[in-house]
Amino acid sequence: MIDLAALSSLRAVDTHGSVIAAAHALGFTPSAVSQQIKRLEKQTGVPLLERVGRGVILTGHGRHLVDAGARLLTDLEEVESGLHDRAGTVAGHLRVTAFSTAMRGLVAPVVRDLLAAHPALSVALTEREPWDTIDLVATGQSELGVVHRWGDVPISIPDHLESRLVYRDLAEVVMRADHPLAGRAVLSPRDVLDEAWVATPESTICRQWLTRMYAGTGRVPRVVHEALEFDSHLALVRAGLGIALVPRLGRQPLGDDLVGVPAHDPVPTRDVLAVHRRSMADSPAIRAVLTALEER
């Protein structure tokens, strides 16, 4: 009989590229992962890993076992979720991954309240960008992810994941209170054509949205400063180095020296989605987190 725990370890080695990285992801020691895979090789009677330089890769037999065993692991996860559903208890360990502003403004307070209400539940939080979060959930390295989708900027979600809208966020154009446009009720891209922008790097979803806002103007935003964190954007704007498009979720107070002006044509909104594997749809713990996020 194939040891399913050992099969999970083999899949983790395939996903992470080494025994050490797999052990870190699973919360085991490298020695424990190696022993599990050796036990699996003894059970199957075939070599599953081979050394390449200082690392390891799956053999052809190992690749077949991981590919064919994926359905078994999914079925087991579904059975476990159904069992917890029958018991009606919110328990177990969840790995939750989210982007930074959602972590501050949404996930942290929700998890605090959930842990207080359900002592048998434990949660580990990790901060990642949306694309990385989806990959972690899709490959079984996280049970639930919180990602964002700006307007019509697409984000690809694999078929074996479910997504649910849990929050709708709005971004505003943040500028110094003494800026000539600070008193406007709303701003359109044409109002800020010549402004200097503080923005996230070009590869990010937020930057893609800022660029799309300028569609039809014949121009692109004049980005003069780049920073990953919106807190840094506010600091740069406060120093008079430009304006920034900053979402409300997880945003620090603007104070008296900054103002947020609503934008229109288009309105910069982003959907906050929670994603999980379909095999965990019946998990009371997953449902409890989803409900808490929606009600926040």
**pLDDT value for 6:** 83
Residue 105: the pLDDT is 94
> Which residues make Cβ contacts (< 8 Å) with residue 17, sequence separation at least 6?
55
Instruction: Chunk the chain into consecutive blocks of 10 residues (it has 296) and report each block's average pLDDT, rounded to whole numbers.
Output: 80 84 83 89 89 84 85 76 78 93 95 94 94 90 94 87 96 98 96 96 91 92 96 98 97 96 94 95 94 93
Q: How high is the pLDDT of residue 153? A: 79
Q: Tokens 């288009």 identify what position?
A: 266
pLDDT at 196: 98
pLDDT tens digits, one per residue of 39-75: 988 888 999 888 887 778 889 998 898 888 777 777 7
pLDDT of res. 81: 77
Euclidean distance between CA atoms 214 and 85, whole angstroms: 48
Query: CA 18 to CA 26: how far, in whole Å?
Result: 12
Alpha carbon 181 to its chain's center: 35
pLDDT for position 248: 96
**Domains by residue range for the chain, with CATH:** 4-85 (1.10.10.10), 89-167+272-295 (3.40.190.10), 169-270 (3.40.190.10)
For the entire predicted model, the pTM comes to 0.80
> Is beta strand 144-150 parallel, antiparallel or unpaired with respect to 258-262?
unpaired
How many degrees, rounded to 5, is the angle at CA 62 between CA 57 and CA 64? 130
| Strands in the chain per DSSP E | 49-52, 55-58, 92-98, 121-127, 144-150, 161-176, 196-199, 222-226, 243-247, 258-262, 269-277
pLDDT of the residue at 243: 98
